[in-house]
Amino acid sequence: MERTHDLSPSSWPLLATLWIVDIGLVALTASYIAGITLLFRQPVWRRRLALLAPVGRMALTNYLTQTLVYVFLFYGYGSCLGLLGKVGAALCLLLAVFVFAAQVVISRWWLARYRFGPMEWLWRSLTYGSRQAMNR
């Protein structure tokens, strides 16, 4: 049986729903950005949000680290953990908060000693075609 990619009249409600969800996600993202921007304008919140700056400066390293940690924990590669489907949402949220808090501390420690995160250093070195200075 040959499948066509034509949209039938019955698929339009599904397509419309998907578009509405996508528009909602963009609106939610814009709301978060606006809220954080408004908070950042207040001196008290500027100091609080500044704690997250090291994590942002090492965004690629932290993203890849989170991926590795969660693949290890949830899929159990190299271990017997394999938590996927075995733990609830509350434990997943607690785990995410713990991992992010650890990344905040480690990023701050790392950037006190080095100019870039390890992956950011690699990316810059590859981009500029020469080994970039890493030490402060």
Question: Residue 136's pLDDT is what?
Answer: 80
Question: Residue 4's pLDDT is what?
Answer: 58
Question: Residue 97's pLDDT is what?
Answer: 96
Backbone angles phi, psi at 45, to 5 degrees: -75, -30
DSSP assignment of 92-119, as one string? HHHHHHHHHHHHHHHHHHHHHHBSS-HH
- The Cα–Cα gap between 82 and 73 comes to 6
pLDDT, one tens digit per residue, over 98-117 is: 999 999 999 999 999 999 99
Question: Residue 55's pLDDT is what?
Answer: 95
Question: Residue 35's pLDDT is what?
Answer: 95
Question: Residue 122's pLDDT is what?
Answer: 96
Question: For the chain, which ranges sit under pLDDT 50?
Answer: none
